[in-house]
Amino acid sequence: MRRGTMILLCFWVISSGGWAEAGPYSAATADPTNPHDPPIAGFVDGQVNPIFVGWATGCVNYRPAPGVATQWKTPQKVLGPVTGSLGHVASLGDLNATQIAAYLADPVNNQGPGSITLTFDAPICNGSGADFAVFENGFMDPDGTIHAEFGYVEVSSDGARFARFPSVSLTDSSLGGEDTVDPTDIYNLIGKHTNNGGPCWGTPFDLDDLLDDSLVTTGAVDLDAIGYVRIVDIPGSGDFLDRAGRPIYDSWVTAGSGGVDPEAVGVLHAVPEPAGLALLLAGAMGVLVARGRRPAEPRKKKRGVVEKIENNHVSQLCHREYSMLTRIFAVLLCVGFVVAATSAEALVVHEGYDATMLYSASAGSTISGLDSRDGKLYFGEYTEIKSLDLSTLNAAVLGSVSGTIGCSFVAVKPDDGTVYVAHGNTYDPPCPYQTGYLDSTGVYCHQRDLEGVYDAAVNSAGELYLVANPDGDDPDFKGDGARIYEYDWSDGSVREVANVGGSTGGLAFDADDNLYYSSYDSDSVIRFEAADVAAGDLVADDATVAVDWDGPGFLAFDDAGDLFVGYYDPDTGSHVGLFDVETGIKLADVTDGGGKLVWANKTLYTFDTDWGTYTSTLYAIQSVPEPGAIILLGTLALGWGVLGGRRRA
């Protein structure tokens, strides 16, 4: 719908010989006739604007830049309907000149601009006009200019690949922290519209603007199934550019609540719920049936309709009074197929396996950590620690922990059933975690602080091992990459076993107590021999590569000694495969999706998270006989029955 914007802009620039004093885009407040980006009101007659069909409901990643004050670091404030309140925002932070230079020189080892990624109950789809609007707490001066802190907006279908909206910034010189921007010079950046305790206006975004994006044309991003919106702060120094390569200037440098401050994301076009479509389809069919009950020749008329449909001559139906209703039914049916394709279960089970859903977490909560003991599963659900009785499927709350990002591991002490956990307090680097246990009354007892805890495993002797990537400021640790530690159940003290370096990965022991570790950085699963693990002081180079596979994560052994490996493919997402650790050969594809893996009772247990709704589901996965084996068993049984019958005769 706005695909000609860039062409028109280039023509305007060339013909005018430079930037005009006012640009072609919308003002900071009401501008209903602007042809490009008229802002959308947050409120109508004192109520939230009914034009919005949904709002952001989950946050899967919040990474503010350094220096944001505590009161501005609550990402939950961006969820739900717009409020128009000054304080109802989450700041992404700003970068000063030194930080910008460091990031641009080495973006791997230096933090860049802050960002936040939001999810929705129903995916956003590409409709007519704007498809969603973002509200930011912009301040407007009496002259119509705005104290602006801008941000890029990006969308994704899978949470991994994001298409960035093409933006325009015509501001031609740098600004100070208190200077203002002419909003008519800005397009497709949030922060240009006012929303601060008075007039409340959101910046519209039309998915049509992404039709030519390479991620869209290759199918990596589906504009009719947008489950994620990411906002990235733009430090307004001019080092960050718009779509045409022009510098973006805003009020810079800012502090405290610095950087862009998103307040809400409102959805204008969403994929219909399958239940609603089913109701519409049922209603359409009901009307068709009711209209079809006519006194004259009902059988002949029905036969005529069927014959025409079977011969693909729908346009020549003899009952013309059905034509409009038939078209409606056809549209609904097509939409129904689209929704069925986009809202299928995230966990796909491959041939040879069957999955049973055991438990679904409450809306807005995700499961993390998983262990099994005595016929129960133990897991974290946000900040609650729960058990699930596998015989009754009844869940019980055992206790809770503090923090905002739940548990990284849950481990049950083999000899007495005490539940140990590691839980996080914040996403802010260096991602501090605490470890401890629940006492007999469910009260959490803290044992130690340890940063970057990822996974844990227990060997046959009942000893707990964990992997973490602690900060170098902690005198107990070296802080130069991931380490594997033996953890003392009694007091939380640790003994370093192996220096694996790089990012943290999954842990698992085999039946002989050899320790396996998934190295995401080297795309392999490595093995430390049991005797070497007991001695400690290992490095990754001392290990044997058991599985050479890209993106490995969580691990679990089955009774035959084969290894389930969760892995991530950037093109197709998360998967679980079964591998022979002696040969490294992949034996089977098990699932698409999955999280932490636990093997017990000849069953693989895992959970899968739908990041569109921010909820998790626990599954039991079992192998099933091959069809040929079933036929063979049936043949044998039939033969046995025939022989038995002959004997009785």
Instruction: Give pLDDT tens digits for 273-292.
Output: 655 555 545 554 554 444 44
Q: Which long-range contacts (CB under 8 A, 24 or more apart) does 326-333 make?
A: 326/288, 328/284, 329/281, 329/284, 329/285, 329/288, 332/277, 332/280, 332/281, 332/284, 333/281
Q: Which CATH number fits the domain 5-267, given the four candidates 3.40.50.720, 3.40.50.150, 2.40.160.20, 2.60.120.260?
A: 2.60.120.260
438 contacts 421 by C-beta, under 8 angstroms: yes
**Are 5-267 and 348-630 equal in CATH topology?**
no
CB 607 within 8 A of CB 618: yes
Lowest average pLDDT, out of 47-51, 291-295, 531-535, goes to: 291-295
Instruction: Evaluate whether 262 touches 298 at the Cβ level (below 8 Å).
Output: no
For the chain, the residue count is 649
Lowest average pLDDT, out of 97-111, 146-160, 368-382, 392-406, goes to 392-406
* Averaged pLDDT, 172-198: 92
- pLDDT for the residue numbered 324: 43
Tell me how many degrees the CA angle 339-343-346 measures, rounded to the nearest 5.
155
3-state secondary structure of 215: helix
| Across 158-165, average pLDDT | 93
Q: Give pLDDT, residue 366.
A: 84
Quick check: pTM over 0.75? no
Given this model, what pLDDT does residue 525 score? 95
**What's the pLDDT at 323?**
41
Please tell me the predicted confidence (pLDDT) of residue 561.
Answer: 95
% of the chain beyond a pLDDT of 90: 48
Report the SS3 class of residue 147.
strand
Burial class (CB in 10 A: 0-12, 13-18, 19+), 590: buried
Q: Which residues pair with 496 in a beta bridge?
A: 485
pLDDT (mean) for 538-560? 91
For residue 258, pLDDT over 90 is answered with no
Confidence of residue 109 (pLDDT cuts 50, 70, 90): confident
pLDDT at 420 exceeding the cut of 80: yes
Strand-pairing partners, residue 407, are 423
Task: Report pLDDT for 269.
Answer: 96
Of the chain, the percentage scoring pLDDT greater than 70 comes to: 77
DSSP string covering 599-646: EETTEEEEEEEETTTTEEEEEEEEE---HHHHHHHHHHHHHHHHHHHH
Lowest mean pLDDT among 176-180, 462-466, 484-488, 636-640: 636-640
Q: How many beta carbons lie within 10 A of that of residue 273, not counting itself?
A: 13
Query: How far is the C-alpha of 646 from the C-alpha of 639, rounded, in Å?
Result: 11
Q: Which fold has domain 348-630?
A: Neuraminidase (2.120.10)
How far apart (Å, rounded) are the C-alpha atoms in residues 356 and 290?
A: 40
According to the model, what pLDDT value does residue 87 have?
81
Q: Would the pLDDT of 329 be above 70?
A: no
Domain residue extents for the chain: 5-267, 291-342, 348-630
Q: Name the least confident of 120-129, 491-500, 612-621.
A: 612-621
Residue-level pLDDT at 11: 36
Helix/strand/coil for 58: strand
Write down the pLDDT at residue 457: 94
What pLDDT, on a 0 to 100 scale, did the predictor assign at position 634?
53
User: What is the mean pLDDT of the segment spanning 476-499?
Assistant: 82
Cα separation, 648 vs 180, in Å, equals: 99
Mean pLDDT across the chain:
80
The kind and range of the H/E element at 589 are strand 586-592
pLDDT of residue 35: 94
